[in-house]
A and B are shown apart, each in its own frame.
Chain A
Amino acid sequence: MATYKEKVGTAVVNFAGTYPGAVEGELWYDSTNKDFKYQYPNKTTTGSWSTTGSLNQTRQGIGQFGTESSALAFGGETPGAGDFNNTELYNGSSWTEVNNLTGARAFLVGTGTSTAGLGFGGEPNSALTETWNGTNWTAVNTLNTGRSNTGGRGGTNTSALYFGGNSPARALTESWNGTNWTEVGDLNAARFHLGGAGASNTSALAFGGFTSPPDVYYPNTELWNGSAWTEVNDLNTARFALGSSGIATDALGYGGDTSSVSALTEAYNGTSWSEQGDLSTARAAGGSSGTNSSGALFSGGNAPPTTAVTESYIGPGVPVGAWSTGGNLNTARGSLTGFGIQTAGLACGGYTGTANSNTTELYNGSNWTEVNNLSTARNFISGLGTQTLGLVFGGEPGDTSTEEWDGTNWSGGGNLNTGRQGLGTAGIQTAALGFGGGDPGGNKFAQNESYNGSAWTEITDLNTARAFIGGVGTSTAALGFGGQAAPGASALTELWNGSSWTEINNLNTSRLNMGNAGTSTAALSIGGDTGSVVAITEDWNGASWSEVADLSTASRAMASGGTTTAAFNAGGFSNPGAALNATEEWSGTSTATKVLTD
């Protein structure tokens, strides 16, 4: 038998404990615990949904094609308001109205890409087929049999399949060759409101569906090989009007109606269905698109009521982040500020529990070192920049002063126009933003000021005044989130584009005094205060917040900095109000150690 070295090319390392030099999959012998071990990347094992920008037009029965980052939604209805011809284009974060369908209708099918697609069928028993060229819809040859509530898919606008539908419930299948529809082999089970996946008119999957009366919910899945349908393994949960996307061997089914609306998501791997993470909004009859089980987009639908909510799906295999301990601050304190990166950070100011602090400490990724003090001891101070070029401003009580850090010393800068504490920050020393904040009188501010390296200038306010707000980004692309609004903790998130603030998707947990790291497109909101001190960490992916691993010590009003792949969070106040000296380090990736004898 071959030895390990002969098979792998290396000998098994003998190490007392967890071998820090192990690469992915490398085996070592832990002589302390007498175990053979190896490490592997820690990744998600099921897919998950996150919210993204909502449709402009609330509706259900939507046609849709494209991917999770570029899609077109068209048609649909709102009960009582009739059918729509509206078309909206999705760019990965928001929907924009574009040119309308030629014929308003609902419960139609779409296939193709956001620049070359096909929309067909729809209610009431429409045979209409339209092609989309990236700008306009054009009517082309119609279906042989007009019907609605069908399944249908195909990868392009020149190769598509249309199956099932009503009324009455049908098994009928038609194939599109880019010019005409032709009747081909029937489904085994006639039904309507079924899901569909497929890359062309020769390879498709039909699943779920409904017939009535009596009410029958179908888990049935059928595979199309270009000439006939074959029954394959059923969905785990029978339902109709479900979202559907992907291809015949790699598909997703999500939401739908099981006698009530469902949030369930299932992935098909070519053999069987497995459950994935649920939608955050259970609904049926939304617009759905995506090219495989790694990504999908589900827009609108009936929750009930009819909704404009859109969610984006990402499949399993996403790296899982984790916190570990870093070097402790020399002076325990909270209400301090921090900036820089995990291996070159700065923390200054704060409150020790008995007095305001002017202490400045630098972090090298392992240890904090005291350097020259701030000229003014203060807490609830705000800061930004790097370990060699920093800026701090404001503080309790309603301070206007600014200090600039040159890597060695602090010196005075221009004063804020409005003195306040707990501002959100973004940018660098010579192009900075300070927004929001509060004062001891209980006022919360929406003011946004810009610093040019010497003076602060008032610019466009936040939409919602808030104190102790989180902030990341640059002076032209910033994110403000959470904070204390009247009367309590806020989950609001606003995006700054250099001239104005726009409200976007909220934090999952309303809170203030969080740690912050990252940019306007990739950020962390760390710990904070919901009324009690929390360890919650949320990750911003440019469109929505999702919960990731908690801090090991719940804390509020910390010093923090870095990115979503490597951040630090130091000091703060714990739940009983004690000043902390602990530092935690975030890694956007992590490994798990496996013991062979487990």
Chain B
Amino acid sequence: MTKTYQYCVAENWGKGFIDHGESSTITFASYPGNVWQVPAYNKHGNLWIAKVAGAVKTKTEAQAIVDAEVQAAQAAWDSLPDADKAPAIGNITRPADITLEE
């Protein structure tokens, strides 16, 4: 199956991590564990990963990183008192699983 996305781990250092030229050329999405998704087979995506010194991950590797972060957040949620899990105001819900796309 042809990949749509590629993944890397990179820490967002702030200004210039993603610039306007890059953002208007390709679509970025971030996930827990500093996992970043950019288009696969895309020169601009490759250039950006190189710029931020991203550690390239397979989709399986990236999913494992995301799962670990989400499971830790879910465990923290599960340990909360019931009153904190269902506040009368605001949308506070158990962290949801995240499935990365191929």
Contact = CB atoms under 8 A, between A and B. Distances in A.
A477 interface: no
A: contact size bracket: 35 or more
A324 interface: yes
B49 to A, nearest CB: 13
B12 to A, nearest CB: 5
B11 to A, nearest CB: 10
Interface string A553-593: 11000000000000000000011111000110001001111
A529 B87 CA distance: 15
Contact of A549 (B22, B23, B93): B23
A531 B91 contact: yes
Contacts of B93: 531-532
20 contacts: A323-B23, A325-B12, A325-B14, A367-B15, A443-B89, A513-B91, A529-B91, A531-B93, A549-B24, A553-B30, A574-B32, A575-B95, A575-B96, A578-B32, A578-B69, A578-B73, A590-B20, A591-B24, A592-B21, A593-B21
B18 interface: yes
A569 to B, nearest CB: 13
Contact of A322 (B15, B23, B47): B23
Contacts of B88: 440-442
A591 B21 contact: yes
A160 B34 CA distance: 64
A18 interface: yes
A553 B24 CA distance: 15
Interface in B76-92: 76-77, 87-91
B17 interface: yes
Interface residues of B, number: 39
Contact of A575 (B15, B22, B32, B89): B32
Interface in A29-68: 33, 39, 42
Contacts of A325: 12, 14-19
A598 interface: yes
A95 interface: no
Given A325-B12, A325-B17, A592-B21, 19 more contacts: A18-B19, A325-B16, A327-B15, A438-B89, A440-B88, A441-B89, A442-B89, A467-B89, A531-B91, A549-B23, A550-B27, A575-B95, A576-B72, A576-B74, A582-B12, A587-B20, A590-B21, A593-B21, A593-B25
A326 B14 CA distance: 5
A440 B15 contact: no
A219 B28 CA distance: 42
B73 A577 contact: yes
A39 B21 contact: yes
